[in-house]
Chain A
């Protein structure tokens, strides 16, 4: 029962309290770049969720089964970058072959994910989170839950941000605030709101 509660706490914390964009400030480039249209934001959010979860599993397995036994932890960053880049190419190829319709909607955003620092950030956070007192299976489960909910938090925030920006675009605001300035103010207000969750657990 305790482990179920702790996993639910990790999921909730990753999704809202420790939100990757608004609390940890990772993935801001795509957040501001793509978060201006609802469709683009949804596509990017779904693609990032899929790639982060998949790459977290691959990078964690590489770390536990290759880098730690050979004492090569110093290669974590460079090897994770290569794994993520290769996986993005692989995912793009599979989607292109088996689901061209999905590729049509996600295809543009898949190559952009390679440059998203949130993907590498989650892979590195997973290593910090691994607890030697827990079993490998439990660590693996925690890692998957954390990665999935962190990336879902990214998708949620970028989608909400795009919805707000679409409404703001229709509003009569000062010319000097249009575009990036109002986007930064919106992100600031959203970050303040998300900081309200800090201290819940």
Chain B
């Protein structure tokens, strides 16, 4: 019984996370704010979506 409740709690929390992730993905920024988001320059990982150097790599 205790194991079943543990599984329900974990599955519920995973469902909560994926619901929030989906809703966040669906929510679009207003047009006037698009393209003006500041980028993060804290590390040099060019694969990171937030990286400052990503744009430079893509343009090359």
- Rounded to whole Å, the gap between the CB of A48 and the closest CB of chain B is 14
Chain A residues within 8 Å of chain B by Cβ, number: 34
Q: What is the interface of chain A mostly: helix, strand, loop, or mixed?
A: helix
A75: chain B residues at CB < 8 Å are 6, 9-10
Could you say which of A3-11, A86-94, A120-128 contacts chain B? A86-94
Count contacts on B: residues with CB < 8 A to the other chain. Answer: 28
Task: Say yes or no: A86 contacts B2, CB within 8 Å.
Answer: no
| Bound form: Cα–Cα A75–B23 in Å | 26
1/0 per residue, CB under 8 A from B, across A90-123: the answer is: 1011001100110111011101100000000000
22 contacts between A and B (CB under 8 A): A34-B42, A79-B13, A82-B10, A85-B17, A86-B17, A86-B19, A87-B20, A89-B17, A89-B23, A90-B24, A93-B20, A93-B24, A96-B27, A96-B28, A96-B29, A103-B29, A103-B33, A104-B37, A105-B38, A107-B37, A108-B50, A111-B50
| Smallest CB-CB A-B distances: 5 pairs | A89-B20, A82-B13, A33-B42, A93-B24, A86-B17
